[in-house]
Copies of this chain bind each other. A is one copy, B any other.
């Protein structure tokens, strides 16, 4: 059974593309916020949910990190990595020289800044709530306008692709996570995501926490901090380590770390995405 998947919509977004890549036959349910996707999974409306967690240029998606920290009953089951290719969409009768306004999500506008400054130096840039909303904003606009959105949004909205691959940086990829009620079994090529914080602000606590992994040869693949939301300067640390939480050395490190922390949570263990530029799978 393909199952049902909630995703950050509407249709035509990069997240929908990621779902198609993951489960082409799934029944899709679009939600207007990352929080909505998380609640769909927790409440059982869908089996799984797909949300963006990190972009190679913009960094982490904070709403996703904050939901993982605060929402119980939610695990990371898989990661998906998708190249982000932006297009400039226009209504069928719009000419390049006419364009006065360009709509998109602020992240997409930022990712195409050089293209816009060089090709549309006089255009007004207007923020939309998503790349799909940008297409709607463009169609409703009183000005000759364009929208920055994924290729797939063109056919869906009956508009024209004026330019393709307009992002400034070709290493623009987004990592998505599949959320579910439980994580994945060990495959021998996994990673584990977790978070922790300390009750006191003592020098060396974070260093000693990292030491639990380093001493057991567990690689720290990613370190991130989020505000505790209680007081400026108090943080929750989010860490990705190589290996599965059931691998003996990872398990020992996690158990030892947990004893040092006032707050601790494993988001899940799941197969590492096969990055073609990364070193070969050690077991293949």
Contacts and interface: CB of A to CB of B under 8 A. Distances in A.
B222 A203 contact: no
Interface in A200-247: 201, 203-204, 206-207, 210-211, 213-214, 217-227, 229-233, 235, 237
A173 B231 CA distance: 9
A175 interface: yes
A96 interface: no
A203 B212 CA distance: 12
Given A59-B226, A128-B127, A227-B58, A219 B232 contact: no
B226 A225 contact: no
A36 to B, nearest CB: 12
A230 B227 CA distance: 26
Contact of A207 (B127, B220, B232): B220
Interface of A: 54-59, 62-63, 81, 106, 110, 126-129, 169, 171, 173, 175, 201, 203-204, 206-207, 210-211, 213-214, 217-227, 229-233, 235, 237, 275, 277-278
Given A59-B62, A233-B221, A207 B203 contact: no
Q: How many chain copies?
A: 2
B171 A230 contact: yes
A233 B59 CA distance: 10
Contacts of A57: 227, 229
A220 B175 CA distance: 29
The 3 closest A-B pairs by CB, nearest first: A203-B219, A56-B232, A207-B214
8 contacts: A56-B227, A56-B231, A59-B226, A127-B129, A171-B230, A171-B232, A201-B219, A232-B275
